[in-house]
Amino acid sequence: MNIHAIKAIYRFEMARTGRTIFQSIVSPVLSTSLYFIVFGAAIGSRISEVDGVSYGAFIVPGLIMLSLLTQSVSNASFGIYFPRFTGTIYEVLSAPVSYLEIVIAYVGAAATKAIIVGLIILATAGLFVPLEIQHPAWMMLFLVLTAITFSLLGFILGIWADNFEKLQFVPLLIITPLAFLGGSFYSISMLPPFWQTVTLFNPVVYLISGFRWSFYGQADVGVEVSLAMTFVFLFACLAVIAWIFKTGYRLKA
Amino acid sequence: MAPILSISGLSKTYDTGFQALKSVSLDIEKGEVFALLGPNGAGKTTLISIICGIVNGTGGSVTVDGHDIVRDFRAARSLIGLVPQELTTDAFETVWATVSFSRGLFGKPKAPAIVEKVLRDLSLWDKKDSKLMTLSGGMKRRVLIAKALAHEPRVLFLDEPTAGVDVELRRDMWRVIRELRDTGVTIILTTHYIEEAEEMADRVGVINKGEIVLVENKAELMRKLGRKQLTLHLADPLDAIPGALAAHNLELSGDGSELVYTYDTQGERTGITALLQDLNTAGIRFRDLQTRQSSLEEIFVNLVRTPS
- pLDDT per residue over A91-141, tens digit each? 999 999 999 999 999 999 999 999 999 999 998 888 888 888 999 999 999
Contact residues on chain A for B153, CB-CB shorter than 8 A: none
**Mean of the per-residue pLDDT values for chain B?**
88
What pLDDT is stored for residue B176 in this prediction?
84
Residue type, B92: F
Dist CA A192 CA B83 (whole Å): 62
Question: Is the pLDDT confidence value at B232 over 80?
Answer: yes
Specify the range with the lowest mean pLDDT, choosing from A1-15, A206-220, B223-237.
B223-237
Dist CA B76 CA A62 (whole Å): 48
A253:B56 CB<8 A: yes
Distances (CA, A) of B170 to B118, B163, B175: 17, 9, 9
What pLDDT is stored for residue A58 in this prediction?
87
A9, A17, A91, best to mutate vs chain B, most B CBs in 10 Å: A91
Residue type, A41: A
Pairing of strands B67-68, B227-234: unpaired
- pLDDT per residue over A154-171, tens digit each? 999 999 998 999 888 888
Cα-based torsion angle of the residue sequence A98, A100, A102, A108 in order, rounded to the nearest 10 degrees: -150
Helix axes A223-247, A99-128, angle to 10 degrees: 140
- pLDDT per residue over B196-223, tens digit each? 788 889 999 989 899 998 898 988 877 7
- pLDDT per residue over B61-118, tens digit each? 999 999 999 999 999 999 999 999 888 888 889 999 999 999 999 999 999 999 999 9
Handedness of CA A237, A240, A245, A249 (dihedral sign): negative
List, in sequence order, the alpha helices (H) in B10-81: 44-52, 73-78
Among candidate residues B198, B228, B170, the one with its CA nearest the CA of residue B297: B198
What pLDDT is stored for residue B306 in this prediction?
60
Question: Is the pLDDT confidence value at A41 over 90?
Answer: no
**The B59-64 sheet, strands edge to edge:** B19-28, B5-13, B59-64, B67-68
What are the residues whose beta carbons fall under 8 Å from the beta carbon of B233, sequence distance 6 or more? B257, B258, B286, B287, B288, B289
Q: Which of B56, B92, B105 sits opposite A95 (nearest CB)?
A: B105
Higher pLDDT, B78 or B137: B78
Identity of the highest mean pLDDT range in A174-183, B145-154, B256-265: B145-154
Shortest Cα–Cα distance, A248 to chain B (Å): 8
Query: Per-residue pLDDT averaged across B9-14, rounded?
Result: 95
What are the residues whose beta carbons fall under 8 Å from the beta carbon of B271, sequence distance 6 or more? B248, B249, B261, B263
State which residue of chain A sits closest to B147, comparing Cα positions.
Answer: A91
Shortest Cα–Cα distance, B218 to chain A (Å): 30
Contact residues on chain A for B109, CB-CB shorter than 8 A: 4
What pLDDT is stored for residue B308 in this prediction?
47
Report residue A9's pLDDT band, with 50, 70 and 90 as the boundaries: very high
- pLDDT per residue over B155-193, tens digit each? 999 998 877 777 777 888 888 888 889 999 999 998 877
Contact residues on chain A for B52, CB-CB shorter than 8 A: 90, 93-94
Dist CA B15 CA B30 (whole Å): 34
**What is this model's ipTM?**
0.87
Contact (Cβ atoms closer than 8 angstroms) between residue B74 and residue B99: no
**Mean of the per-residue pLDDT values for chain A?**
89
Contact residues on chain A for B51, CB-CB shorter than 8 A: none
Dist CA B102 CA B95 (whole Å): 11
- pLDDT per residue over B39-64, tens digit each? 888 899 999 999 999 999 999 999 99
**Which residues does residue B131 pair with via DSSP β-bridges, in sequence order?**
B94
Percent of chain A clearing pLDDT 90 (strictly above) = 51
B90:A86 CB<8 A: yes
Domains in chain B, ordered, with CATH?
Answer: 5-222 (3.40.50.300), 226-305 (3.30.70)
What are the residues whose beta carbons fall under 8 Å from the beta carbon of B151, sequence distance 6 or more? B78, B81, B102, B103, B105, B106, B107, B108
Ramachandran area for residue B89 (φ above 0: left; ψ -120 to 50: alpha; else beta):
beta
Query: Per-residue pLDDT averaged across B231-244, rounded?
Result: 87
Percent of chain B clearing pLDDT 70 (strictly above) = 94
Residue type, B214: L
What pLDDT is stored for residue A26 in this prediction?
83
Among candidate residues B212, B214, B216, the one with its CA nearest the CA of residue B60: B212
In terms of Cβ atoms closer than 10 Å to its own Cβ (0-12, 13-18, 19+), residue B235 is exposed
